[in-house]
Amino acid sequence: MKLGVFAVLFGDKSLEEALDNVQEAGLDAVEIGTGGYPGNTHCNPAELLADDSKLQKFQEAFTKRNIEISALSCHGNPLHPNQEIAKEHHEQFEQTVLLAEKIGVDTVVTFSGCPGESDYSRNPVWVTAAWPDDHPEVLEWQWKEKVIPYWQQQNAFLEQHGVRVAIEPHPGFVVYNNETALKLREACGKQIGVNFDPSHLYWQQMDPVVSIKELGEHNALFHFHAKDTAIDPQNTAANGVLDTKPYQDELHRSWIFRTIGYGHGEEEWRRIISALQLIGYQGTVSIEHEDSLMSVEEGLEKAVGLLKNVLIKQKVGEIWWA
């Protein structure tokens, strides 16, 4: 496994400056944002596809530093009921796939998307309950009319271009856990897998190790985000885990995203890395920094330190143990 970082945390820097930071941190790989919610500060696929000289310069920035691109990421909502947003995010996804093919990157990361409750919706509707009966009816309509047709088409497009998509299970979208991720893969095709981010599972009361092993049985874990979550026992006991307060209201939220080691300790991350090794994951552990209590520099330094320690390996037979 390689240790890398999702470069959107360096959004205020140029690509060259961002990669210098990655190199100084002693990392092997970088995940690059190409659109959607992370934006495309360091990589505009449409621009690079249209200009060979810009594309060459882009690639040279990585090769001269001996840094690998682990994935191109365009986390968006191509199923958004606002057609302008849906069109923009879909086009960014398509362009990202075409760029990935051209530069030899095999994985594109995004979200599954989430439609509205009907063709007349203005905003996405995430169904979280089985009653009243409106909820399962909406969910059935979403999958049958929007989700499956869209991703069946994208699976064919991905297969045509030799690229796979790693869908990140994330609350607010139709794919938010293993069950929904595997449902999408089964219905739409094997070019579709998972970008595994434990931080979104913790507050839903899931065990990442159990989830990793299940995805491994289906050969469905394509990419990995290293991000942690801290759960506030007092706020959770009072209000539960469904929390709509701003992420900046750390004192009153039931949970917040944290730097690796500040939600769960090193032993837990040893369990996670060992589970990845057990299923034969050979990709990148991509650090994602969304800790509102730490600076980018401090958060990255602490995450790198813990994960480098965990990733020290001893070969036993054909398995690498953390």
What's 276-297 look like in SS3?
HHHCCCCCEEEECCCCCCCCHH
Closest CA to 117 of 99, 136, 104, 132: 136
Amino acid at 217: E
Strand partners, 304: none
pLDDT of residue 312: 72
Spatial distance between the Cα atoms of 301 and 312, rounded to a whole number of angstroms:
17
- Residue 239 is predicted with a pLDDT of 97
Rg (alpha carbons) of the chain, rounded to whole number:
19
Measured between alpha carbons, how far is 283 from 71 in angstroms, rounded to an integer?
10
User: Quick check: helix, strand or coil at residue 95?
Assistant: helix
What are 179's two structure tokens? 């069950």
All structural domains of the chain with their residue ranges? 2-321
Alpha-carbon distance of 134 to 114, in angstroms, equals: 17
Q: How far apart are CA 209 and CA 99, in angstroms?
A: 33
**How many angstroms separate the CA atoms of 164 and 157, rounded?**
10
Alpha helices in the chain (DSSP H): 15-24, 45-50, 52-63, 83-103, 134-141, 148-161, 178-188, 198-202, 208-217, 233-239, 266-278, 296-310
**Measured on CA atoms in the order 314, 31, 195, 193, is the torsion positive or negative?**
negative
Tokens of 84: 């302008």
- 3-class secondary structure, 82: coil
The pLDDT, as a whole number, for residue 230 is 98
pLDDT tens string, the chain, 322 residues long: the values are 999 999 999 999 999 999 999 999 999 999 999 999 999 999 999 999 999 999 999 999 999 999 999 999 999 999 999 999 999 999 999 999 999 999 999 999 999 999 999 999 999 999 999 999 999 999 999 999 999 999 999 999 999 999 999 999 999 999 999 999 999 999 999 999 999 999 999 999 999 999 999 999 999 999 999 999 999 999 999 999 999 999 999 999 999 999 999 999 999 999 999 999 999 999 999 999 999 999 999 999 999 999 999 997 533 334 444 4
The runs of H, that is alpha helices, within 104-232 are 134-141, 148-161, 178-188, 198-202, 208-217
Q: What is the CATH code for 2-321?
A: 3.20.20.150
